Copies of this chain bind each other. A is one copy, B any other.
Amino acid sequence: MTQLPFLRLFLPRQIPLFSPARSFFHTTAALKAAQASKKNQLTMATVNTKTGKVVDRTVLDSMLRRRLFYTPSFEIYGGVSGLYDYGPPGTALLNNIVDLWRKHFVLEEDMLEVDCTMLTPHEILKTSGHVDKFADWMCKDPKTGEIFRADHLVEEVLEARLKGDKEARGQKVVVDEEKEAKKKRKAKDAKAVKLDDALVKEYEEILAQIDNFDGPQLEQIIAKYDIRNPTTDGNLLPPVAFNLMFQTSIGPSSNMPGYLRPETAQGQFLNFQKLLEFNQQSMPFASASIGKSFRNEISPRAGLLRVREFLMAEIEHYVDPEGGKKHHRFEEVKDIEMSFLNRNVQLSGSTKTEKMTIGKAVETGMVDNETLGYFIARIQLFLLKLGVDPNKLRFRQHMANEMAHYAADCWDAELLTSYGWIECVGCADRSAYDLTVHKNKTGAPLVVREPRAEPLKVEEWQVDLDKKKFGPRFKKDGKAVAAAVEALSQELREKLAIDLEKNGKIEVDVEGVGSGKVELDQDIVKIEKRTRVENVREYTPNVIEPSFGIGRILYSMIEHVYWAREEDEARGVLSFPPVIAPTKVLIVPLSTHASFRPLLQQLMTKLRRMGISNRVDDSSASIGKRYARNDELGTPFGITVDFQSVKDNTFTLRDRDTTKQVRASEDEILQAIRSLVDGEKTWEDIRKDLPEFTGQEVD
Contacts and interface: CB of A to CB of B under 8 A. Distances in A.
B246 A119 contact: yes
B80 A270 contact: no
Contacts of A84: 117
Interface string A596-619: 000000000000100101010001
Nearest to A68: B278
Nearest to A138: B252
A124 interface: yes
A123 interface: yes
A74 B114 contact: no
A384 to B, nearest CB: 18
B68 A274 contact: yes
A117 B253 contact: no
Nearest to A309: B117
A379 to B, nearest CB: 19
A88 B278 contact: yes
Copies per complex?
Answer: 2
Interface in A66-111: 67-68, 71, 73-77, 80-81, 83-88, 90-92, 94-95, 102-103, 107-108, 110
A242 interface: yes
A19 interface: no
A247 B94 CA distance: 28
Given A85-B267, A107-B613, A611-B103, A298 B252 contact: yes
A198 to B, nearest CB: 35
A275 interface: yes
A250 interface: yes
Interface in A216-239: none
A113 interface: yes
A260 interface: yes
Interface residues of A, number: 78
A663 B366 CA distance: 51
Interface string A633-654: 0000000000000000000000
Contacts of A88: 112-114, 275, 278
A442 B76 CA distance: 6
B77 A442 contact: yes
Given A80-B256, A252-B296, A86 B115 contact: yes
Interface string A28-40: 0000000000000
A118 interface: yes
Contacts of A118: 118, 292, 309
A465 interface: no
Contact of A113 (B91, B247, B251): B91
Nearest to A79: B121
A280 B621 CA distance: 11
A348 B113 CA distance: 49
B107 A102 contact: no
Nearest to A442: B76
Interface string A248-282: 11111100100010000001001101110110100
A248 B250 contact: no
A133 B500 CA distance: 73
A247 B442 CA distance: 28
A613 to B, nearest CB: 6
B92 A113 contact: yes
A54 to B, nearest CB: 29
A119 B94 CA distance: 19
Contacts of A115: 85-86, 90-91, 94
A274 to B, nearest CB: 6
B270 A74 contact: yes
Contacts of A308: 117, 119, 250
A86 B114 contact: yes
B85 A273 contact: no
Given A68-B278, A85-B115, A267-B85, A74 B260 contact: no
A120 B619 CA distance: 36
Contacts of A102: 95
Contact of A85 (B271, B442, B613): B271
Nearest to A445: B76
Contact of A124 (B74, B86, B94, B253): B74
Contacts of A619: 280
Nearest to A65: B274
3 smallest beta-carbon distances between A and B, as pairs: A76-B444, A86-B115, A88-B112
25 contacts: A73-B117, A74-B270, A77-B124, A77-B441, A83-B117, A85-B271, A86-B116, A87-B274, A88-B113, A91-B113, A91-B114, A92-B113, A95-B113, A118-B118, A119-B309, A138-B252, A147-B253, A246-B250, A247-B248, A247-B249, A250-B296, A251-B299, A252-B296, A280-B619, A292-B292
